[in-house]
Amino acid sequence: MINFKPKAYFTDLDGTLLDLPKTKEKISQKNLNILKEKNDNGIPFIIATGRYASDFVLDLAKKTNSPYVICQNGGLVVDTNGEVLIKHEIEKDTVIKIVDALKEKKLFFIFNSGNTIYGSSAKLKLFRPWIKKMVQKNYDEMPKITKLTKIITFGTSKKNVKKLAQELQDQFKNISLYIVSKGYAIEINDINASKGRGIEFVSKLLNIDPKEAIHFGDSGNDTSSIPYVGAFVAMKNSLKNIKSQATWIAGSYKKSGVYEAVRKIENLKQ
């Protein structure tokens, strides 16, 4: 259980803070208010997401008076104006080799959490409905490859995803990767990029000890916070292997799960 009074909070977005994913707002007023309340009262509540520093993410930080945002699983840390404070990119040669391996396996991939998905034309037609909301391009329509902060890949079974993750980890020593999306996708970052390292970096900017902070999350990339924070709180909707690593398990992310978790933690420490 959590045995300290938090000096700061960090939170994932999808499957954690964004409790109304099917609505325009994506987030409940209670969750929005708890972040703003804490930030306004000198207890930083910082977003740590796999997403890019999009208008939506930056707007959320501004609405809650959160001074910094950890994006791309720590590959990018920005302030609320989108100014880059630190960036960790996967080397170009490594990107080329990884992309070649993914193309060989006919997998889908997205660069830097963008809105374009690359894949073989035959498979693009077969895949999930949400892909229709994205720009779909064939492999031969890919731009010239450069350094990237993040690659996400998917399009096969859980078993094959696990196997591929191990193959990539064995082949490339300069990347960090996490299995996400309930076991169906892999997020790939530079070795120096993780939510945990992002939390460490932001904690220094805030002049706080991360061991006095709590991180809320539901996915593999959230477990990288464990060596750095005082407590990792997994949402009830997390996979078993994520919950088994948590200090404490909160309720489901739905119905203001983060708000409810913070209130419970505060009541325990009163």
- In terms of CATH architecture, what is 92-190? 2-Layer Sandwich (3.30)
- Name the E strands within 67-220: 68-71, 76-79, 84-87, 108-111, 116-119, 135-138, 151-154, 175-180, 185-190, 213-217
Identify the CATH assignment for 8-88+193-269 out of 3.20.20.70, 1.20.140.10, 3.40.50.1000, 3.40.109.40.
Answer: 3.40.50.1000
Q: Residue 159: its pLDDT value, please?
A: 96
Q: Residue 267: its pLDDT value, please?
A: 86
Q: Which residues, 6+ apart, have CB-to-CB distance to 135 below 8 Å?
A: 115, 116, 117
Q: Is the pLDDT of residue 125 over 60?
A: no
Q: Is the pLDDT of residue 151 over 70?
A: yes
Q: Is the pLDDT of residue 232 over 70?
A: yes
The reply to whether 8-88+193-269 and 92-190 are identical in fold is no
Q: Residue 162: its pLDDT value, please?
A: 96
Q: Residue 265: its pLDDT value, please?
A: 94
pTM for this prediction: 0.92
Q: Is the pLDDT of residue 27 over 80?
A: yes
Mean pLDDT of 62-85: 97
| Lookup: tokens for 99 | 């992309």
What confidence category does residue 130 fall into, taking pLDDT thresholds of 50, 70 and 90? low
Q: Where are the domains of the chain?
A: 8-88+193-269, 92-190
Q: Comparing C-alpha atoms, which of 231, 165, 187 is closest to residue 4?
A: 231
